[in-house]
Structure 1
Amino acid sequence: MPDPAGFPRRSYDLVKEFTIALVVVAVLTAVLAAVFSSPDERPVTLASWSRADGADFTATAAAELGGTSGTAEYGPPYNHTPDAAQKLGPLGLQSAAGVRIPVDTAADFVLRPLASAPEPPVVRAALAAWAAAPAARQQAWTKAYSDALAKAPGGDPAKVTGGGFGPVPVLIARLLDLARTGALDGQLQAEGKFYQTDYTRPLLFLSDGSYLETLARAEHLGGDQWGMMNETGDYPGQAWLWLYTFWYQIEPFKSSGNADALIWGLMALLSLGLLLVPFIPGVRSIPRWTRVHRLIWRSYYREQEAAGRTPQ
C-alpha cells in the first residue's frame, strides 16, 4: 500500500534486529567476563580445612573445647567474656548491644556435634567422662593437650607424647573424622533448623584457626594488605572503601586492640563533618576562595566575558 504522504518505505525485521543485538551483547558479556572478572575461588569449609591441614584443625578444636580460642574470648555478641569488648572512649558500644548470638565454643563446636552423631562406645565414654569432670579439670586436660600438640613435629596429633589429656584426644580425633566427611559443616549450619543458611558458627570456627588467614593473605586480603577493599588476588575491588581501610594501615590504629571501635567513631565523625560542610563557616567558603568552579566552567565564563557580562 503506498504511503499517502509520499514518503519512501522499506521492510524492517524487528525480530531479526533484536536477535542479532541479543547474541552480540551475550557474546561480548561472556568474553569480557572471562577476561576481566575476578577468580571464582572454591568456598573454604570445615571439610576442606580438615582435609588440607588436619594439624591446624586439631589444635583449633582443642582451643574451642578448652574455651581459649578467639571466639571463646571475643565477648559480645557471642559471650560475656569480661573486659573483651572494644570501647569508644568510656562508651562500650559492643557491650551495650549485648550477647545477641550466644556461642559456647565447647558445646556448639565440639560436644553437641559429637553427641548428635552416631558414636562408637569409646566416644560415648569420652563424652561421659568430660561431662562428669569439673571445669578446672577440663581446662587442665585441654591445656595439656594443646601444649603437647604445639611441641609435636608439625603439630601432628599422631606424634603427641605425654599424658594427662583425659578424653580430649578421643573427642578431637572423632571431631576431625566428622569434619573430613563434611558432616560437621551441616551440623553447625543446621543448629535445629530445616534450612541450613546460617554460616555464622562454621565461619567463627574457621576464623579461629590459621588456615583461613593463610589463604586470605595469599590472596592479598589481610588487614595490613588493604584487604577490606580488595578482590581475591591482584584484581581491583571496592575502591570506595579506601578511606575506611586506610586507617588500619597507620598508627595508633594499626597496633590497637580497640581499632574497630576507634575507626568506626572516626568515620562517623568524618561523615558528620561532610554532611555539615554547607553550615561550617570558613569551610563552606573554600570553593569561592579557590575558584575551582571557574576552571570547570571556563567556557561559560569566556562566553560571558566576551559578551561584556560579569559572571559571579
Structure 2
Amino acid sequence: MADPADFVATATTELGGTSGTAGYGPPYNSTPDATQKLGPIDLQSLSGVRLPIDTANDFIIGPLQTLPNPPAAIDEWTKASDAQHAAWTTAYGDALSKAPDNDPAKVPPGDYGPVPALTGALLAMAQQGTLDPVLGAKGSFYNTDYKASILFLGDGSYFPGLADAQHLTGDQWGMMNETGNYPGQSWLWLFSALYQVEPFKSSPNADVLVVFSMVILTLLLTLVPFIPGLRSLARRIPVHRLIWRDYYKHR
C-alpha cells in the first residue's frame, strides 16, 4: 500500500462521520447545509438520498464483518453511543496528526476505544487485497459499481495529493488537463475558466453556478440567429473576412 498512514487517518474520519463523503449531502446522505443551491432552489436535494451511504458501516464495519474472524472491537463499537464514537475518533484522529510521520504505530496510548483495532484490521484487509471487492460487491458475485472505493480513496489525502502534483485539481484548470505530458480536454476550457474567477471561485455553490452559467451561454449561442443586433455582428465586425482574405480578394 502506497500510504498506510493516510489510509488509517481516512478510515478514522469515515468512522467518525467527518470525511468528505460523510458530509456530502444528497445523493449519499442528508447532512444539513451540505447541498449546493441556485438562489433559494436546493437543486442537490431535489432527487433525494438515492444512494445512501453510512461511511462507518459501509466503509468500515460492514467490510470487517465479512472476515472469517471479525475483530472483537466491532462489538464494542456497535454498543457505544454516537457521542462516544465521536469522542474516540476525534481523540485518535488528533493523535494520528501529531504522531511522527502520522504513523499509527507511533501514536501514544490514549482513550481511543476500538478505533485503532478497527482501522488496523481494515488496513490489513486492504493490504491483502480483500477490501476493494467487499466495498463494491454488496452481496453480488460480479461488481461494476466502484462508487464506494472511489469515495473512500477521495476522502484521503494521498490521491488528491497526486492529482495536485499532476495539475488535475479544480483550481489548476484540472478539468481540461490530463495526466503526464498529454493534451487534455481543450473543449472544456470555458468550464474550467469559470472556476478560476469570482464569484464562482470562492462560492460554496460553484458547481451549480458554473453549470447554470454554461446553460445560459449555450442558449445564447443557440439563439444567435434569432437575436436582433447580435446576429448582425458578423457583418458589422467582419473578422471572418480578415481570416479568409484570400478567398474574399477574388470575389
TM-score, normalised via structure 2 length: 0.95
**Aligned residues between the structures:** 251
Displacement, 1:301?
4.9
Letter in 2 for 1:139: A
TM-score, normalised via structure 1 length: 0.77
Displacement, 1:100?
1.6
> Which position in structure 2 is the counterpart of 1:17?
none
In structure 1, C-alpha distance between the alignment counterparts of 2:242 and 2:95, rounded to whole Å: 70
> Which position in structure 2 is the counterpart of 1:38?
none
> Which position in structure 2 is the counterpart of 1:98?
48
Displacement, 1:258?
1.5
The aligned runs of 1:181-260 (5 Å cut-off) are 181-260=128-207
> Which position in structure 2 is the counterpart of 1:61?
11
Displacement, 1:300?
5.9
Letter in 2 for 1:56: D
Residues 1:236 and 1:127: Cα distance change in structure 2 (over 3 Å) = same
Choose 1 or 2 for highest CA Rg: 1
The aligned runs of 1:1-312 (5 Å cut-off) are 51-119=1-69, 123=71, 125-295=72-242, 298=245, 301-304=248-251
Residues 1:200 and 1:302: Cα distance change in structure 2 (over 3 Å) = same
Q: Any stretches of 5+ residues in structure 1 without a counterpart?
A: 1-50, 305-312
Displacement, 1:119?
2.1
Residues 1:67 and 1:301: Cα distance change in structure 2 (over 3 Å) = closer
Letter in 1 for 2:192: T
Identify which range, 257-266 or 105-114, moves more after superposition. 257-266
In structure 2, C-alpha distance between the alignment counterparts of 1:227 and 1:300, rounded to whole Å: 39
Identify which range, 69-78 or 160-169, moves more after superposition. 160-169
In structure 2, C-alpha distance between the alignment counterparts of 1:129 and 1:302, rounded to whole Å: 85
In structure 1, C-alpha distance between the alignment counterparts of 2:201 and 2:247, rounded to whole Å: 48
Displacement, 1:303?
4.6
- Secondary structure, aligned partner of 2:132: helix
Residues 1:280 and 1:171: Cα distance change in structure 2 (over 3 Å) = same
Residues 1:301 and 1:153: Cα distance change in structure 2 (over 3 Å) = closer
- Secondary structure, aligned partner of 1:146: helix
